[in-house]
């Protein structure tokens, strides 16, 4: 981990700035998410203040910074609480798909044979399928047993990203399996499980952070899409930007801009930030792209040649 941070610090040029900007914006969202109860003036499903309904579709103003929408919600509060939902879902789905995809790829690549072939076939088929449709099918299935909460939404997204981890990890494993150090380990009598855990895992796991952050950006987009279609997180469970945008549809036809603008901007900002982090990490970790920040070496001025040589 320390080495990893060190590596990040040692990049230079574009990669460094991309990474810094991405991390900075993401951190702002994290702060908002953590401090939501204190930063947001209202609760995410609060429509009344002291028994009086909030105004419907109020213009953005001093008391409602981003206006209110057709359901009497304060949009600023919804956006703030929405960042909490977004980050929770992203974190859960990335962790879930990594936890499933990584071991699957590792075992499949190491064991080979029929298991490997069938898994590759399955995963490729899933990968070629439109990801949103896959998410729709899974949310359809999970709605019954799990309801419309954060966990159900994260699990629907998980299914989309497992094949990506699987592919990368499997391919790295297949090429690493033939390496000399694995052969040496086997010659020493290491069991297959030990080889996977001690020798292959460390080599394979390096590519995961990059896929993770890039998937996180994609997951946010898909979550919003599900919410927009009304198949994601239900409005009484948590505040979700995509759902808010679907509520803004009719208002947009009437020319009312604030219910649509702000949640959308939040989505774009967070997606861009996560993509920047992913691209930056990629250039940092991938040795082929990495440019290190080296301390410029200044040679001491060449000493005046002694006179003997001229003689």
Partner 1 sequence: MMWVLLTIVFFLLRVAPGDPVSAAVGGKLNEQALDARRAALGLDRPMIVQYLEYLGNVVHLDFGKTISDNRPVLDIIKDQGGATLTLTLGAFVFALVIGLPLGRLAGRYRDTPLDAGIRIFGVVSYAAPIFWVGIMLVLLVVKVFPGWPTNDIGSVVTKFTVQPKTHVLLLDAMLSGNQDAVLDILKHHVLPCLTLGLLLSGVIIRLVRVNVIQAMKGDYVEAARARGIPEGRVIRKHAFRNALVPVITVIGLQIALTLSGAVLTERTFNWPGLGTELVQYVTARDYIAVQGLVTFFAIIVVIVSVLVDILNALVDPRVRY
Among 9, 121, 181, 193, binds partner 1 (CB under 8 A): 121
| CB-based burial label for 20 (10 Å; 0-12, 13-18, 19+) | middle
End-to-end CA distance of the chain: 60
User: In this chain, which stretch among 11-19, 59-67, 127-135, 284-292 interacts with partner 1, using CB under 8 A?
Assistant: 127-135
Angstrom distance (rounded) from CA 234 to CA 148: 5
**In angstroms, what is the minimal distance from the CB of 43 to partner 1?**
25
**In angstroms, what is the minimal distance from the CB of 108 to partner 1?**
16
**In angstroms, what is the minimal distance from the CB of 303 to partner 1?**
43
- Cα-Cα-Cα-Cα torsion 264, 131, 161, 266, nearest 10 degrees, comes to 0
Question: Is residue 261 part of the contact set for partner 1 (CB under 8 A)?
Answer: yes
- What's the maximum distance between 2 C-alpha atoms anywhere in the chain? 103
Angstrom distance (rounded) from CA 90 to CA 216: 6
Among 21, 71, 143, 234, binds partner 1 (CB under 8 A): 143
Confirm if 37 and 239 have CB atoms less than 8 A apart: no
**In angstroms, what is the minimal distance from the CB of 166 to partner 1?**
15
**In angstroms, what is the minimal distance from the CB of 260 to partner 1?**
5
Question: Is residue 3 part of the contact set for partner 1 (CB under 8 A)?
Answer: no
Cβ-count burial 243-264 (b if 16+ within 10 Å, e if not):
bbbbbbeebeeeebebbbbbbb
Confirm if 160 and 211 have CB atoms less than 8 A apart: no
Among 156, 158, 275, 282, binds partner 1 (CB under 8 A): 275
How many chain residues bind partner 1 (CB under 8 A)?
A: 45
Q: Which is nearer to partner 1, 143 or 291 (CB)?
A: 143
Angstrom distance (rounded) from CA 281 to CA 211: 10
Q: Which is nearer to partner 1, 120 or 182 (CB)?
A: 120
Question: Is residue 300 part of the contact set for partner 1 (CB under 8 A)?
Answer: no
Give residues in contact with partner 1 (CB under 8 A): 121-122, 125-126, 128-133, 136-141, 143-145, 217, 221, 224-225, 228-231, 242, 245-246, 248-249, 252-255, 257, 260-261, 264, 267-268, 271-272, 275
């Amino acid at each position: 981990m320390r080495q990893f941070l060190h590596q990040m610090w040692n990049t230079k040029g574009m990669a460094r700035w991309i990474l810094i900007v991405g991390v900075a914006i993401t951190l702002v969202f994290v702060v908002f998410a953590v401090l939501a109860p204190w930063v947001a003036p209202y609760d995410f499903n609060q429509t009344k203040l002291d028994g009086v309904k909030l105004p419907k579709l109020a213009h953005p103003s001093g008391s409602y910074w981003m206006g209110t929408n057709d359901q009497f919600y304060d949009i600023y509060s919804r956006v703030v609480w929405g960042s909490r939902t977004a980050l929770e879902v992203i974190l859960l789905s990335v962790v879930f798909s990594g936890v499933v995809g990584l071991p699957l790829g590792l075992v499949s690549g190491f064991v080979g044979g029929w298991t490997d072939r069938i898994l590759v076939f399955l995963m490729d088929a899933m990968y070629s399928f439109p990801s949103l449709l896959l998410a729709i099918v899974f949310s359809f299935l999970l709605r019954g047993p799990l309801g419309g909460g954060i966990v159900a939404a994260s699990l629907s997204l998980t299914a989309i990203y497992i094949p990506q981890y699987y592919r990368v990890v499997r391919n790295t494993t297949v090429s690493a399996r033939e390496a000399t150090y694995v052969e040496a380990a086997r010659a020493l009598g290491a069991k297959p499980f030990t080889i996977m855990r001690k020798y292959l895992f460390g080599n394979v796991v390096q590519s995961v952070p990059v896929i993770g952050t890039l998937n996180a950006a994609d997951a946010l987009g898909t979550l919003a899409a599900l919410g927009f279609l009304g198949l994601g997180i239900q409005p009484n469970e948590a505040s979700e930007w995509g759902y808010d945008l679907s509520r803004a549809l009719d208002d947009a036809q009437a020319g009312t801009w604030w219910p649509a603008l702000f949640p959308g901007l939040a989505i774009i900002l967070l997606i861009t930030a996560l993509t920047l982090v992913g691209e930056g990490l990629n250039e940092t970790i991938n040795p082929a792209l990495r440019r290190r920040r080296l301390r410029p070496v200044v040679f001491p001025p060449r000493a005046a040649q002694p006179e003997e040589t001229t003689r």
